Amino acid sequence: MTVVEHRYRPRGAARALLEDRSPELLLSGPAGTGKSRACLEKLHLLMLLNPGARGLIVRKTLASLGSTALVTWRQHVAAEALANGTVTWYGGSPQESPQYRYANGSVIVVGGMDRATRIMSSEYDVVYVQEAIELTLTDWESITTRLRNGRISFQQVLADTNPDTPAHWLKGRCDAGTTKMVESRHEDNPVLVDDQGALTAVGRDYLGKLDNLTGVRYHRLRRGLWVAAEGVIYETYDPAVHLVDRIALPAGWTRYWAVDFGYTNPFVCQCWAEDPDGRLWLEWEVYHTQRLVEDHAITILDQVTTVDRDYRHPDGRPRYAHHGRTWTGPKPRAIVCDHDAEDRATLERHLGMSTVAAHKSVSDGIQGVQTRLRPAGDGRPRLLLMRDAVVERDAALVDASKPTCTAEEFPGYVWDTGAGKAPKEQPLKVDDHGMDTTRYVVAEVDLSARPRVRFLGGAARSRR
C-alpha cells in the first residue's frame, strides 16, 4: 500500500470548518486568511475517505478557477497525490466535464456556473463554491438540488467568500440560519501568523498592504466586515443585474474603445459594444500595471487581429504593433482616451488608428453612467458588463488586494468627503481607473457627436 504524507495544520475557523457537517456552510472573512485552502483540504480528505464519492469545485465562471482555487489545489492540497498517481487529471470530453479522478473511484468535477448545464446534470456529495458572493441565489439553489449522491454520511455545500454588502442575498441566508457562517481571521493562517501569535515576515508584508486599503475595501478585505460603502456613487449598481455571463456579441454592433493611461496605476482599455437598443456591453478589457503603452497595444490588438506569419517588415522602417496583422474582429468607431498627449501619440502609432480626447467633465460623466445603470422601459439597464471581461488578471493587483477589473471598482467608488469638500461633488481618487474609462465611453456615446476613426495608412492590414 502506498503511503502519502501530507501536512496541513488547521486552526481557528479552518479547524471548525473541517469538523462541521451543516448542509450549507460558508467560510467568510478578509483576504488572505486561508479560506480556500481550508475548503479544498476538506474536500480532498472526504474524497480520500469515501470511495466512489463525488465532489465539485465551482465558481461563477470556469475561467476564473484556473488562476485561483485550482492553483492552490495543485500546489498545496493535492500535490503529493498528483505526484504519485493517487489523483489524476482528466481534461474532459463531450460526455464528461473536466475532473480529478481518485484511485478509489472518487471524482472531483471542475466547472463554472457560466456553463451550468454540464455540471448540473450530475449528482454530488460535496460542492465547494469559491467566492460565493459572485453567484446568484438561483445558482446557489440549483447547486443544492445536486446534493444527492449518497456516498458520504452527510451532503454539503461548502463555500468561501470575502464579505460584501449586508444586503447581499448570501448574508441574508446566513442571518436567517439557512446557511451557517463561520468567520475566519488572519490569525487562522500560519503563513501570516505563527503559533505564538506573532506576524511572520510574509504576514507583515501582506497585512501592510491590506492596511493601506481605504473605505469599504479596508473594512471588507482587512477586517472581514459585511459593510456597505459610505457615500457610494453608483448606488443602483448590482452585480446580480449588471454583471452578465459571456455571450458572443454580433460583429455588426458598433464598438467603442476607451482608454485611461497608467503605469504604476492600472492602464485600462475597455471595448464596449452598442446593441440596436442603445445598450452598452463591456465585451473585453485590458486592466494591468507595470507595462508600457506599446506593450498594451499588442495585447489590445491580440483581441481583434491575427498575426500574419508571412509578413516581412521593410528594413530601416519603424516597426509598430499593428504592422503585419490582419483584422478578424470589429473595428471601433472611436477610441476615446484621456488627455495625456505623449501616451496618446504612442498608442496611435502602435494601433495604427487615431484617437479622440475624452469628455472630461466628471459630473456629466457620472450622471450619464447613473442613468444607464437604472432599468430602462424594458426593465433592463443600459449598461452591462461581461463577468470575465478582463483579458489577463494582474497578479500584482491580486497580491495587493486591489481591484483587478472595472467590475470590482464599482462597490468602492465613493464621493470624496474630506475636509472642505462639497458633498457629492467629486469622487475619491482611489481605485477609479475603470470608473474613469467607463465615464469616457458613456460621455462619448451619450453626450458627444460620434466621429469616425481614421485608420493610419488607410488599410486594415498594414504592410508599410
Between residues 326 and 245, which one has the greater pLDDT? 326
- Strand 99-102: give its sheet, edge to edge: 87-90, 99-102, 107-112, 54-59, 126-129, 156-161, 24-28, 180-183
Do 126 and 155 touch, CB atoms closer than 8 A?
A: yes
Do 256 and 272 touch, CB atoms closer than 8 A?
A: yes
- pLDDT for residue 12 is more than 90: yes
- Taking only the tens place, the pLDDT of each residue in 422-453 is 777 889 999 999 999 999 999 999 987 554 45
Tally Cβ neighbours within 10 Å of residue 323: 20
Selection from 264, 237, 266 nearest residue 434 by Cα: 266
In this prediction, residue 2 carries a pLDDT of 64
Grid cell in block for residue 235: 448606488
In this prediction, residue 423 carries a pLDDT of 73
- pLDDT for residue 83 is more than 90: yes
Element of type H or E holding 128: strand 126-129
Selection from 377, 143, 390, 374 nearest residue 286 by Cα: 390
Tally Cβ neighbours within 10 Å of residue 328: 11
- pLDDT for residue 334 is more than 60: yes
Q: What is the DSSP letter of 11?
A: -
- Taking only the tens place, the pLDDT of each residue in 104-154 is 999 999 999 987 887 888 999 999 999 999 999 999 999 999 999 999 999
- Taking only the tens place, the pLDDT of each residue in 96-106 is 889 999 999 99
E strand residue ranges, 261-370: 267-274, 280-288, 305-307, 325-327, 332-337, 356-357
Strands 383-386 and 356-357, sheet pairing: unpaired
In this prediction, residue 1 carries a pLDDT of 58
CA distance 277 to 331: 20
CA distance 74 to 60: 20
Give the model's confidence band at 460: pLDDT under 50 very low, under 70 low, under 90 confident, else very high. very low
Mean of pLDDT over the chain: 91
Selection from 61, 73, 249 nearest residue 139 by Cα: 61
Element of type H or E holding 56: strand 54-59
Do 216 and 229 touch, CB atoms closer than 8 A?
A: yes
R_g of the chain computed on alpha carbons: 24
Between residues 93 and 347, which one has the greater pLDDT? 347
Phi-psi region of 133 (alpha: psi -120 to 50; beta: other; left: phi over 0): alpha
CA distance 439 to 240: 21
- Taking only the tens place, the pLDDT of each residue in 370-417 is 999 999 888 899 999 998 899 999 999 988 888 999 999 998 899 998
Beta bridge partners of 415: 427
- Taking only the tens place, the pLDDT of each residue in 203-246 is 999 999 999 988 888 899 999 999 888 888 998 888 878 988 88
Percentage, residues of the chain above pLDDT 90: 74
Q: Looking at residues 251-265, what average pLDDT do you find?
A: 97
In this prediction, residue 281 carries a pLDDT of 98
Q: Looking at residues 310-335, what average pLDDT do you find?
A: 95
Beta bridge partners of 33: none
Q: Looking at residues 449-462, what average pLDDT do you find?
A: 46
What structural domains and CATH numbers belong to the chain? 13-211 (3.40.50.300), 239-447 (3.30.420.280)
- Taking only the tens place, the pLDDT of each residue in 299-314 is 999 999 999 999 999 9
Let me know the angle formed at the C-alpha of 112 by 106 and 118, rounded to the nearest 5 degrees. 65
State in Å, rounded, how far the first CA of the chain is from the last one.
67
- Taking only the tens place, the pLDDT of each residue in 43-55 is 999 999 999 999 9
In this prediction, residue 458 carries a pLDDT of 41
Do 55 and 46 touch, CB atoms closer than 8 A?
A: yes
- pLDDT for residue 193 is more than 90: yes
